[in-house]
Amino acid sequence: MAKPTFYITTPIYYPNDKLHIGHSYTTVAADAMARYKRLRGYDVMYLTGTDEHGQKIQLRAAEAGKPVMQFLDEIIEWIKDLWDKLDISYDDFIRTTEPRHTKVVEEIFERLIDQGDIYLSDYEGWYCTPCESFWAERELVEGKCPDCGREVQYVSEESYFFRMSKYVDRLLQFYEEHPDFIQPESRKNEMINNFIKPGLKDLCVSRTSFDWGIPVRRDPKHVVYVWLDALTNYITAIGYGSDDPKMRAKFEKYWPADVHFVGKEIVRFHVIYWPIILMALGLPLPKKVYGHGFLLMKDGKMSKSKGNVIDPKLLIDRYGSDAIRYFLLREIPFGQDGVFTPEALVERLNFDLANDFGNLVHRTAAMLHRFVGGRVPLPGARTDAEEELAELAGQTLRDLEQHMDEMQFSVALADIWRLIRAANKYIDDMAPWALHKRGDEERLRTVMYTVAETIRLVSVWVQPFIPRAGLQVLEQYGIAPEFRTWESTRTFGAPIGQSPVEQRPPLFPRLDVDEELEALAGLTRGRDGAPASRATDAEAAGHGAKQEGQRVESTATPTGVQTKETIGIDVFDQVELRVGQIRAADRVPNADKLLRLEVDLGAETRQIVSGIAKHFQPEELIGKKVVVVVNLKPVKLRGVASNGMILAASTEEQLQLVTVPDFMPNGAVVK
């Protein structure tokens, strides 16, 4: 039976400059999805590429003193090298200067003129060259471009226009019939209210003021203007309009796309103009457009002029591609904006990768060698502890699949890490070293097998995100090919006994925090040349204290704060705190202390019952951003399910919720 297909795309990037870590974000996310679908047995087509026409490219090439094509070739080589370094498993890379694209765009343009969808008229307005955007007089800010603040020029020129207005009703009907088309959901209303309701303007689709573009066949003083040229890459790359029957069959096989991944700033083009162009061509529409959020720096958007751009190659050279992929996917809930901070990067690498996953793999291999001859042993009878871990593994797989289907990468990774932490705790609780000492061979074999089996599952599951580490561990643990498949992870208890296990250096080195912060400050430079993004002394001190947590003894004395027993950072780290926003609140019937809250955690909205009814009216809580413990076992309070807990500061007399400034995104990690 033919495999089901899955066609996924990234935006095609402007090669007017080297790409930065923000562009890598989309590409890494799409790659994780592509790899996941391949593991799930899909025939995947993963497309990326470059959007090579337009005045900006022409100007940049002139500035560099190079012929345009040479300028482009050099940047494309740099971009492909970046994707290789980041282990991007794209199946095709389309350049809009390739004949397979230009020829078809020319034909499409002719056809749309013949159909009356494209007409000739005059364009008048203000034009910003760097942004390649037209603005109406009223849209300008103090006479300048509202996006970048630079000078605009008044242009009046003959242009072709696409009659968008003709298709608006059909588009709205399509949205109605396909409620999942625009993701996340919130972006849909923004589109309808901001762009469609005020009256959709026809789109200018040709220019005569520059010539670096695809000429209009019947009127070659015009070149096709960016979006019609750019968007059609998604169909030309897979063979639409090709003369080659094999390519046409490819188009039939993969179109419509399953998902276009795009940054939120270009959702509009993908959910309004693109569907309308496809309607005019009589083609089916893509199944989904996912508009993800932006990776920001502490001082806002990444931009050359702010000098806060990070070169992804420098990061990969220093930390490896898995580390960067992990950070991007784990740190920022897909769909929301997130801030890149060097501190967060180093923490994620130290805690999640080195401490949790790396250490699990490393210490287990060492124990397998020390206690049972360097092979995964055959297990004896399971006890409750093994059953519990096996059950958690099953639950993890179910959660992981659900979150991947929802494209919630950060949550999917949190699912896997829950099992990794549980496996580390299982080792601590079972203490194989003690079993070895007292000669309890059967228990020792069972425990070591159980840990190895958990490592097998985790290593298969992490492959979409950190493919190198996943594969390396499967090899290190001698896992046979049939137990590396996704399907094989549905069973906890595969016959991997007797597999030889190698001892290898740790997967991820533990980093020295201060040294890395210093180095990272050097990679991102501020406008004045001073290192940017360095934590303030106070922040760094706070951090240091946390890092050192395991080594520092409690200094509490009877006159200071009375504490419970001192815990290590690893224990604290098991508590997962996140920013949540209260969306709804009401009283729990027959319970005078309890309120039922609906709390938006970005990736999901949870019901939490909280004992704060004596201190607040439900309505005053709406909109508050609070800190939520998200990994507490769900309970029922007075028959109402509660899934999490909200933090509050209290004295005998009063209680205040711990709140977070409004600009922090829902779902942001608190630590």
Q: What is the smallest separation between the CB atom of 243 and ligand MSP, expressed in angstroms?
A: 24
Contact stretch for ligand MSP (CB under 6 A) within 8-16, 120-128, 187-195, 611-619: 8-16
Report, in Å, the least distance between residue 530 CB and ligand MSP.
22
Q: Which residue type sits at 610?
A: S
Least separation in angstroms between residue 231's CB and ligand MSP is: 5
Question: Least distance from C-beta 195 to ligand MSP, angstroms?
Answer: 17
12 binds ligand MSP (CB under 6 A): yes
* Residue 26 lies near ligand MSP (rule: CB under 6 A): yes
Q: Look up residue 65 and give its two tokens.
A: 């003193």
For residue 198, count CB atoms less than 10 angstroms from its CB and return exposed for 0-12, middle for 13-18, buried for 19 or more: exposed
Which residues on neighbouring strands pair with residue 300, listed in sequence order? 297
Structure tokens at 570: 């690893």
Give the one residue of 174, 251, 294, 486 binding ligand MSP; rule: CB under 6 A.
294
x/- letters, 331..370, toward ligand MSP (CB under 6 A):
----------------------------------------
Contacts of 324 (CB under 8 A, 6+ apart): 21, 24, 28, 86, 312, 315, 316
Minimal distance, residue 177 CB to ligand MSP, in Å: 24
If we measure between CA atoms, which residue out of 211, 240, 206, 202 comes closest to residue 226? 206
d(CA 476, CA 471): 8
**483-542 residues near ligand MSP, rule: CB under 6 A:** none
Tell the smallest beta-carbon distance from residue 626 to ligand MSP (Å). 27
Range in contact with ligand MSP (rule: CB under 6 A) among 84-92, 239-247, 294-302, 369-377: 294-302
Residue 13 within binding range of ligand MSP, rule CB under 6 A = yes
| Residue 262 contacts ligand MSP per CB under 6 A | yes
> From CA 584, how far away is CA 574, in angstroms rounded?
28
Dist CA 350 CA 344 (whole Å): 10
**Closer residue to ligand MSP in complex, CB, 458/520:** 520
Contacts of 249 (CB under 8 A, 6+ apart): 239
C-beta separation of 526 from 307 below 8 A = yes
Least spacing, CB of residue 301 vs ligand MSP, in Å:
7
Q: Choose between 26 and 183: whose C-beta lies nearer to ligand MSP.
A: 26
Q: From 21-29, 452-460, 555-563, 644-652, give the range in contact with ligand MSP by CB under 6 A.
A: 21-29
263 in contact with ligand MSP (CB under 6 A): yes
Piece of the chain touching ligand MSP by CB under 6 A; list 160-168, 259-267, 319-327, 417-425: 259-267
Shortest Cβ 18–ligand MSP spacing (Å): 11
What is the C-alpha separation between 181 and 167, in angstroms, rounded?
17
8 Å CB contact between 16 and 52: no
Q: d(Cα 118, Cα 121) in Å, to the nearest integer?
A: 10
Which residue's CB comes closest to ligand MSP? Answer: 22
Contact 610, 580 (CB under 8 A): no
From 23-31, 165-173, 184-192, 553-561, give the range in contact with ligand MSP by CB under 6 A: 23-31
Question: Does residue 230 belong to the site contacting ligand MSP (CB under 6 A)?
Answer: yes
Told to check if 309 binds ligand MSP by CB under 6 A, we report: no
C-beta of residue 610 within 8 angstroms of C-beta of residue 628:
no
Q: Which two tokens stand for residue 75?
A: 């940047």
List the interface residues with ligand MSP, window 47-86 (CB under 6 A). Answer: 51
Of 20-28, 282-290, 620-628, 650-658, which part binds ligand MSP (CB under 6 A)?
A: 20-28
How many whole angstroms separate alpha carbon 322 and alpha carbon 511?
15
Number of residues that bind ligand MSP (CB under 6 A): 18
Binding of ligand MSP at residue 11 (CB under 6 A)? Answer: yes
- H/E element, 392: helix 384-405
**Which of these segments, 10-18, 87-95, 374-382, 473-481, binds ligand MSP (CB under 6 A)?**
10-18
Q: Are 72 and 79 in contact (CB under 8 A)?
A: no
Amino acid at 541: A
Using the contact rule CB under 6 A, the part of the chain among 22-30, 391-399, 461-469, 635-643 near ligand MSP is: 22-30
**Rg of the chain's alpha carbons, rounded to an integer?**
28
CA distances from 356 to 85, 540, 570 (A): 25, 23, 9
**In angstroms, what is the minimal distance from the CB of 490 to ligand MSP?**
34
Q: At what angle do helices 359-372 and 441-461 cross, to 10 degrees?
A: 150
309 vs 21: CA distance, rounded Å: 8
List the alpha helices (DSSP H) in 406-530.
409-430, 432-437, 441-461, 467-476, 513-523
Nearer to ligand MSP, 281 or 655 (CB): 281
Q: How far is the CB of 245 from ligand MSP (least distance, A)?
A: 27
Q: At 382, is the secondary structure helix, strand, or coil? A: coil
25 binds ligand MSP per the rule CB under 6 A: yes
- Interface stretch with ligand MSP, choices 119-127, 262-270, 308-316, 472-480 (CB under 6 A): 262-270
Please report how close the Cβ of residue 498 comes to ligand MSP at its closest, in angstroms.
Answer: 47
Count of other CB atoms within 10 angstroms of residue 314 = 15
Determine if 302 is a binding residue for ligand MSP (CB under 6 A). yes
Choices 146-154, 263-271, 430-438, 575-583 (CB under 6 A): range interacting with ligand MSP: 263-271
Q: Which is nearer to ligand MSP, 21 or 44 (CB)?
A: 21
Which C-beta is closer to ligand MSP: that of 32 or that of 230? 230
Q: Which two tokens stand for residue 534?
A: 């360095």
Q: Residues 265-284: x/- map of binding to ligand MSP (CB under 6 A)?
A: xx------------------
**Binding to ligand MSP by residue 7, rule CB under 6 A?**
no
In angstroms, the first-to-last Cα distance of the chain is 49
Task: Give how far Cα 308 sits from Cα of 130, 193, 250, 331, Å.
Answer: 19, 33, 42, 19
* 159 sits near ligand MSP (criterion: CB under 6 A): no
The stretch near ligand MSP (CB under 6 A) out of 135-143, 165-173, 258-266, 470-478 is: 258-266
Q: Can you name the residues that pair with 215 across neighbouring β-strands?
A: 223
DSSP characters over 83-152 = HHHTT---SEEEETTSHHHHHHHHHHHHHHHHHTSEEEEEEEEEEETTTTEEE-GGG-BTTB-TTT--B-
Select 96 or 666, whichever has its Cβ closest to ligand MSP: 96
Question: Between 12 and 203, whose beta carbon lies closer to ligand MSP?
Answer: 12
Please select the residue that binds ligand MSP; options are 7, 23, 187, 666, rule is CB under 6 A. 23
Q: Which of 415, 258, 260, 392 is nearest to 329 (CA)?
A: 415
Closest CB to ligand MSP among 22 and 644?
Answer: 22
Contact positions vs ligand MSP (CB under 6 A): 11-14, 22-23, 25-26, 51, 230-231, 262-263, 265-266, 294-295, 302
